[in-house]
Structure 1
Amino acid sequence: MAAPRFQAPTNDFFSELKNRINDHFEQKGITPSGNSKLFTKAIILIVSLIGLYVHLVFFTPPAWLAVLECVLLGGVGASIGFNIMHDGAHGSFSDRKWLNNLAGLSLNLLGGNVFMWNTKHNVIHHTYTNVDGVDDDLDARPFLRLCESQKKYKLHRFQHFYFWAIYAFLYIYWIGFSDFQKYFTGKIGDFKIAKIKRSEHISFWAFKLAFVVIFALVPIYMVGFVSWLVGFLVFTMSTGLIMSVVFQLAHTVSETHFPLPEPKTNKIEEAWAIHQLQTTANFATNNKIVSWFSGGLNFQIEHHLFPKISHVHYPEISKIIKKACQDYGVEYIEFPKLRTAIYSHIMHLRSLALAN
């Protein structure tokens, strides 16, 4: 599928919005990148990850505590991805490029690959959000049907019950299969990946090997194969479930759109900024715990419109964006509570399970 194009803006909504956002930072005398709050959070998360890992591997806690710590390890790993890697990969963690690159590499240490992520997420997903056949985040075939344009299989009749299990295996599928598929095919869906430099080849294999050593070989040597396998599954399934839920609540809910390009022109009906607002939703933005843990990804509208701005600024700029949407009559999709967003996601899956 050729990359679709967007319509030209019919008004000055996004230009005006960008001006208002720029004025906000100028008036406050601050930069759009991360600040001391983000750096402190990063240190807390990294120290927590190391502490949990060391205690699990080298101090052999009782089984009940080990399982709990593996769940926490999965949660901390997901939060490092949300807060450190995500901002770093978007260039918003810091105003220093080397620090953004370092933050992005945290994904590699956790078994992923930031080079593949940048193409899949920053380029494809952020441009063609919720466009079936282009946005790779919508492709959960054959296990899940995430929009009406996707083919329905018999097992989808029950997807609103079993989707939790699919989400739990996302992380291990990603680092153990999906990255390698992209690496060897040179494609993400129908999109060709940019030519991989020698340094990226070395980085890919070196970090994959490092992950195996740190999260498999060393623990197996210290605690034995069975104990490691149980702990590893608890860790990776916790990470996968948390990551999946956070990202799915932002896009695959009943209220968001799943537009397809017009067949003859290959154009999306709306301009890019309006498209982002129609395909993206916020949730639980007044919940400080959710905001802290998820790296502001509950402010997904702000992130999709301004991915170069660090998530620590989202609560403030969300007020500006809401006001601009009101002024221009643009819908701003938001769920006040986490549970209402989860309910909408389940209802979305259920409607697709029942529809033809």
Structure 2
Amino acid sequence: MSVPKFANVPHSFHAELKKRIGSYFEEVGKSTTGDYPIFMKAVILMVTFMVIYVHLVFFTPGVVMQILESILLGGVVAAIGFNVMHDGAHGSFSKYKWINSFAALSLNILGGNNFMWNVKHNVIHHAFTNVDGVDDDIDIQPWMRMSTTQKKYRLHKYQHIYFWFLYSLLYIFWIFVLDYQKYFKSKIGSMPLKKMKLSDHLVFWGFKVFHLFLFVGLPIYMVGFTSWLISFLIFTLVAGLVLSLVFQLAHTVEHTAFPMPHETTGKMEDEWAVHQIKTTANFATNNKLVSWLVGGLNFQIEHHLFPKISHIHYPAISKIIRQACQEYGIVYIEYPRVRYAVASHVAFLKQMGRAA
């Protein structure tokens, strides 16, 4: 499939949004990046991670405490991904490039690779959201069907039931399988991977080895194989489920669109910004605890339109974007509570499992 092209519209909706958002930041005199507020959040999450890790590995807690701490570790790892790595990878964590790069490297420490993530997420997913055949985030075939353009198998009839288990496997599969597939195939889905420099190769392998030492070798040496396996499975399954749910609730729900380019011209019907709004949904934006934990990714519309703006500003700019959508007659998709978004995702999966 060739790379789709978006409609080139004079006086585009995106241009109007950028004008209004730019005016807002000029008026309030704030930087678009996170800086000190997000630094404090990063410190809290990193310190919490280190305390739990050290206690599990070096102090051998009892079984009940081990399980509880492993569950908490999974949640903290996901939160670091949402709050530190994600903003860093988008260049919105700080106004200093080296700090953004350092924040993005947290993904490598946790087993992923920021080079692969940048191509998969920043380049492909953010440009071609929900476009089947291009957006790798909706390619879970043959295990799940996320669009009517994908082939349907009998097992998809039950995907709204077994998705909990599959989503839990995301983290393990990501760090032990998917990164290596991308690396050796030199492509993500149907899209070619950007050429890696020598430093990219060294970072890839160096951090993969470091991760194995930190999360496999050292813990097994300190607490034994069985104890390690219990904690490792619990924390990775929890992290995988949380990571999957947050990203899927943003794009694969009942009201989001899955547009395809014209068969002959390869052009999309809408301009890029309108496409982003039609394919993206917000959830629980009035819940400050949820917003804090998921790094503002419940404001997914704002994030997709302005990924270079830190998530700490999303509540403010969402009012501007919502008003603009109302003026231009564009539907702003939002679920007021997490459970409503989850219910819509389950309904969507059921629909995809049964629709022609």
What range describes the TM-score normalised by the shorter chain of this pair?
Answer: over 0.9
Deviation at 1:294, TM superposition (A): 0.1
Deviation at 1:162, TM superposition (A): 0.5
TM-score, normalised by the number of residues in structure 1: 0.99
Q: Which amino acid aligns with 2:319?
A: K
2:251 matched residue in structure 1: 251
Q: What are structure 2's unaligned runs of at least 5 residues? A: none
Inter-partner Cα distance in structure 2 for 1:10 and 1:62: 65
Inter-partner Cα distance in structure 1 for 2:335 and 2:204: 38
Inter-partner Cα distance in structure 1 for 2:182 and 2:354: 33
TM-score, normalised by the number of residues in structure 2: 0.99
Inter-partner Cα distance in structure 2 for 1:163 and 1:106: 27
Residue aligned with 2:195, SS: coil
Structure 2 matches for 1:288-327, cutoff 5 A?
Answer: 288-327=288-327
Structure 2 matches for 1:22-41, cutoff 5 A?
Answer: 22-41=22-41
For 1:257-290, what per-residue CA distance to the aligned partner results, in whole angstroms no more than 9, with x for missing partners? 0011110111111110000000000000000111
Is 1:129 equivalent to 2:129 in the alignment?
yes
Residue aligned with 1:6, SS: coil
The alignment covers a number of residue pairs equal to: 356
Residue aligned with 1:5, SS: coil
Q: Which amino acid aligns with 1:118?
A: N
Q: Which amino acid aligns with 1:117?
A: W
For 1:118-159, what per-residue CA distance to the aligned partner results, in whole angstroms no more than 9, with x for missing partners? 000000000000000000000111111111111011111100
2:182 matched residue in structure 1: 182
1:227 matched residue in structure 2: 227
1:54 matched residue in structure 2: 54
Inter-partner Cα distance in structure 1 for 2:351 and 2:15: 37
Assess if the C-alpha contact under 8 Å between 2:131 and 2:260 holds in 1: yes
2:168 matched residue in structure 1: 168
Q: Which amino acid aligns with 2:214?
A: I
Structure 2 matches for 1:210-225, cutoff 5 A?
Answer: 210-225=210-225
Residue aligned with 1:127, SS: coil
Is 1:112 equivalent to 2:116 in the alignment?
no
Inter-partner Cα distance in structure 2 for 1:202 and 1:14: 39
1:97 matched residue in structure 2: 97
Assess if the C-alpha contact under 8 Å between 2:49 and 2:73 holds in 1: yes
Q: Which amino acid aligns with 2:136?
A: D
Larger mean Cα displacement after TM superposition, 6-15 or 166-175:
6-15
Assess if the C-alpha contact under 8 Å between 2:170 and 2:241 holds in 1: yes
Deviation at 1:9, TM superposition (A): 2.1
Inter-partner Cα distance in structure 1 for 2:13 and 2:190: 32
Q: Which amino acid aligns with 2:297?
A: L
Structure 2 matches for 1:338-349, cutoff 5 A?
Answer: 338-349=338-349
Deviation at 1:10, TM superposition (A): 5.8
Inter-partner Cα distance in structure 2 for 1:10 and 1:253: 31
Assess if the C-alpha contact under 8 Å between 2:35 and 2:95 holds in 1: no
Q: Which amino acid aligns with 2:240?
A: G
Assess if the C-alpha contact under 8 Å between 2:71 and 2:234 holds in 1: yes
Is 1:157 equivalent to 2:169 in the alignment?
no
1:18 matched residue in structure 2: 18
Is 1:270 equivalent to 2:270 in the alignment?
yes
2:335 matched residue in structure 1: 335
Deviation at 1:329, TM superposition (A): 1.0
Deviation at 1:327, TM superposition (A): 1.2
Q: What are structure 1's unaligned runs of at least 5 residues? A: none
Inter-partner Cα distance in structure 2 for 1:13 and 1:179: 36
Deviation at 1:35, TM superposition (A): 2.9
Root-mean-square deviation over aligned CA pairs: 0.8
Deviation at 1:11, TM superposition (A): 4.7
Inter-partner Cα distance in structure 1 for 2:273 and 2:9: 8
Percent identity, please: 58
